[in-house]
With several copies, the nearest count.
Chain A
Amino acid sequence: MGKLANSFHKIAALNQAMEYFQDGMTIMFGGFGGVGSPPALIGAILEKDLKELTLIGNDTGFPEIGIGKIVSRGMARKVIVSHIGSNPVAGKLMNEGLLEVEFSPQGTLAERIRAGGMGIGAILVDIGLDNEMVIQGKQQFILNGRDYLVEPALTAEVSIVYARKADPYGNLIYDKSARNTNPLVAMAGNYTIAEVEEIVPLGALNPEEIVTPGVFVDMVIPTCGVNWKWAWE
């Protein structure tokens, strides 16, 4: 492999990644409306026909885009997301009682994921205090005379993210707005798998431009590219 020596043993193939997935597990996924979600990993999860998953991420994508493909096929028991508006199948499953949905305000959700990645227990925010669905099951806390919700950190057994480039240490850079939740999700996984468009030699990435340090990344696999049709196409 020459310069691309797998010196940290993180570069692997899709089938090796799939050994980390099983029924009933919690998976966190990067992406926002499907943009920046890892297509090969999602495809392989579909093929493995997993059951009773708990999925955590910004949204449930579209029925045939991003994580939506997994949700639409009923493979998830529960999702923790900020909205399911772009995936009517998720709404249908929820109404039929086949899918539990925990809604979290989008910015709160992003911070809960980051908190998980940073080893923080929870954050106190004042978003949604007057909203029944948000405060449901949450503890409140008064700090300096102001009310806050205690929003617990989120982590996952496996995190899956999509990046533009990786080096053999798993350092990641992203592509424009496909960055979105990926750097947060990458930190929150107990085991983090990055699907990337390009793997470059160690030292080829500028240390200044690295967004996700490889410290947080356990495995790097090459992508097959996005294999769905975008809503705007």
Chain B
Amino acid sequence: MARRAALEISPGMVVNLGIGIPSLVPNFLPPDMHVMFHAENGITGMGATPHAGEEDEALCNAGGFPVTVVPGASYCDSATAFGMIRRGRVDLSILGSLQVSGKGDLANWIIPGKKVPGMGGAMELASKAKKLIVLMSHTDKAGNPKIVDECTLPLTSGRCVDLVITDLAVFKVSNQKLILIEHRNTSSVEEVAAKTGCTFEVQDNVKKVAY
């Protein structure tokens, strides 16, 4: 999934990555691509994870884990870091999610009665990044679809998802319509349909891909 998401990144972009699988995306980028990775705590230009023993406790990403910086990086306060997001200067945000609706609604911040961790910076990223990609497993641990007609979990932000990448398929959301554009070569449109909680269009030249 991270490999597939990396294909959406172009040179010069400012990219914010959520915790978990999204944080693996840089591993699949060519070197010298001149992409600036942005962190909510105030880093523009994050680089690779430092080698063990070379961590700097004062240089961590928004998840609190050690990072490095690339040439051209800068530090700012958190207000400015979010100003970049709200002003539309972050080109791409790649987040995990609990549910996504066929209209592009995102629900990734609480499970009522179970887990109420707070929204962190997800609302700003979801509603203000120029493009929002969701990376998530196609179904939950119990096998229930995570792509649904209407989110049953509280929304982080409505009508904000542009692309959904799962372990089975890739959908784009266009004018609040879900369109299957790729599926795994080990799967089929029928399997994807069976494991998806809402209807979707199938693009004419839907691709079978290995990733």
Instruction: Identify the A interface with B (CB < 8 A).
Output: 7-9, 32-36, 58-59, 62, 81-86, 91, 94, 101, 103, 105-108, 110-111, 113-114, 117-120, 125-128, 130-134, 164, 167-169, 171, 174-184, 187, 202-203, 205, 207-208, 210-211, 213-216, 226, 230-232
Contacts and interface: CB of A to CB of B under 8 A. Distances in A.
Contacts of B84: 213, 215-216
Interface in B144-164: 154-158
Contact of B117 (A91, A114, A118, A203): A91
B119 interface: yes
21 contacts: A34-B64, A35-B57, A59-B120, A106-B119, A107-B124, A113-B79, A118-B79, A118-B83, A118-B86, A119-B128, A127-B127, A131-B157, A133-B119, A133-B154, A168-B72, A177-B58, A179-B42, A210-B76, A215-B38, A230-B64, A232-B65
B58 A36 contact: yes
A117 B41 contact: no
A226 B58 CA distance: 11
B25 interface: no
Given A119-B83, A169-B72, A131 B77 contact: no
A177 B42 contact: yes
Interface residues of B, number: 64
A59 B73 CA distance: 25
A108 B125 CA distance: 12
A232 B39 contact: no
